[in-house]
Every structure is written in structure tokens, then in C-alpha cells.
Amino acid sequence: MAISSLPPLIDAVLSTPSADSWAAITSWLDDGQTTELIRLAKQRLGAWPKELPRPAPKRWLATAHQALYKPTLGLCLDVKEVDTYPFYIAALSSEPRLKLRDGSDAVSLHRQQRGVVETSTGKKVAMNGDVPGMADLGGTLTVEWGGGACDCFTYPTIPHLSVCALKQPPSRIQLYIEIEVKLDGKIPPQAKEYTGTSRRQLTDTERQQVQRQQAQLARGGCYIFADRVVDAVEAVVRYRDEVLARIGAFPPPLPTLLSTIHAQA
């Protein structure tokens, strides 16, 4: 009789994406699992964060074991830090809480190139070498507040629909933000977001990044370390709300489009 469900322990582990969970899954797979169970595990892993690596254990890659572990190698995911940047950019631009009232994006991010970059013509150009600690992603956050009440009217031909438009546009300011992207568990000690207990010495690059974060925060700015897309989104939302609190405005509700069609009961 075919097994159509995962063991409860593995089911629970698959519900909590992390490096430790992946290690537990690889140990379970080492015991030899059916094709159906591997298929179910792969299906569940598809819902894990794309920025979370799932490295293949060395024993799986050994020449003598390649045939044995071939079915499970398809569950692995090799992630390079640079490959995760689009995930962060896309998530922040599509986050409903970070939309302006006219429906446009409040966040605009781009990769901040550093070091020597080769152009399409083959020319090598040094970029931002004089900005120590510059984060991987940089851009702007537009914060808005206030604005007048809505003018609403209905279409005679569509009696159950109405259109609303703001009488007076909201006030806006545009702020610079930075996000330093790290792979899972690589946020350095001394960073604001670090939750571990390590006292290891920072690398020169990490030291510069931490110093830049501290300087930005001291001036009311925004410099975020993140190894998860969801954490970066939450951090930007919190910063937006902190700015609104500083200027005495309330955090905005979910965005109302400038010309939004509202269905009426």
C-alpha cells in the first residue's frame, strides 16, 4: 500500500523553513524514502523562501553515492547572494502596505554596484569605492500623510458602482533607504538585527557595514540587514511608521487608490 502522507515530524519540520529544518530533512532522506514521499517533500519545499539555501550534503555528492542520492539532489537549492536581490526588490515594490494612495509604489530599489565593474563595451569602471559599508540595495521610500476627504459619485448607467477621488492630495517626503542582503544566518554580530550570541571578530567589510548602519540610524536614517525577504519588508514598514510617528501623523491604512472603484452593497 502506497504511503500518501509525510510523517508528522517531517511535516512539522517542512512547516518551519530554516537551515536546521533542512538538515533534519536530509537526515530523514538518508534513511531511504519512497518516490512518493520525495515528491511530497519537494512539493512542500516549493513554498520555502527562495532566498533560503538548501545545500546538498557532501555525502550526497560523493562519487560512490551519486546514483543512490540522485532522486534527492533535486530537492536541493544552490543560492548565491546576488541571485536573491530581485526577490527583495520585487517583494518591496509589490507589498500592499507600501503602496501610495494613487496606487504607485512607495519603494524604489536598485542594486548598488561596488568595486570594479566591466561595462558592455569591455571597459572597467570603479564604482562607489569611496563609500565604505554601502549596502547591496539602495533606493527611496516615499512617505505620505494627510490629504483631503474623498469626492464620490456614481455612474447613472452603473448604479451599483461609485468612483472616489481625493479633494486634496496627501503630503509626501522621499527618504533614502539601504538594505544589506545576507544569506541565511550571515547577519553579523553588532548589527541591529542580529539575534545570536556570537562574539566573533567582524571582517573588514562587516565592520564597515555595521558602522554605516550605526551612523545612518543615529541620523534617523534606514539601513537594514536582512537574510529573509519577509524581514526586509517588515523592517521597511516599521521605518515608514516610525517616520510618520516623528512627524505626528498616524500610520496609513491599506492604500486607497486615487480613482478606485468601490462596489456597494
The single residue listed with the C-alpha cell 571582517 is 203
The single residue listed with the C-alpha cell 565593474 is 117
Region 227-242: mean pLDDT is 98
Residues of 64-78 as b/e, b for ≥16 C-beta within 10 angstroms? eeeeebeebeebbbe
Collapse the DSSP code of 249 into the 3-class scheme (helix H, G, I; strand E, B; otherwise coil) and give the result.
coil
pLDDT digits (tens, 9 = 90+) for 139-195: 999 999 987 666 676 767 776 777 766 678 889 999 999 999 999 999 999 999 999
Collapse the DSSP code of 116 into the 3-class scheme (helix H, G, I; strand E, B; otherwise coil) and give the result.
strand
pLDDT digits (tens, 9 = 90+) for 92-134: 999 999 999 889 999 999 999 876 666 677 777 766 666 899 9
| Alpha carbon distance 119, 126 (integer Å) | 11
Question: Would the pTM count as exceeding 0.85?
Answer: no
SS (H, E, C) 136-199: CEEEEEEEEECCCCEEEEEECCEEEEEEEEECCCCEEEEEEEEEEECCCCCCCCCCCCCCCCCC
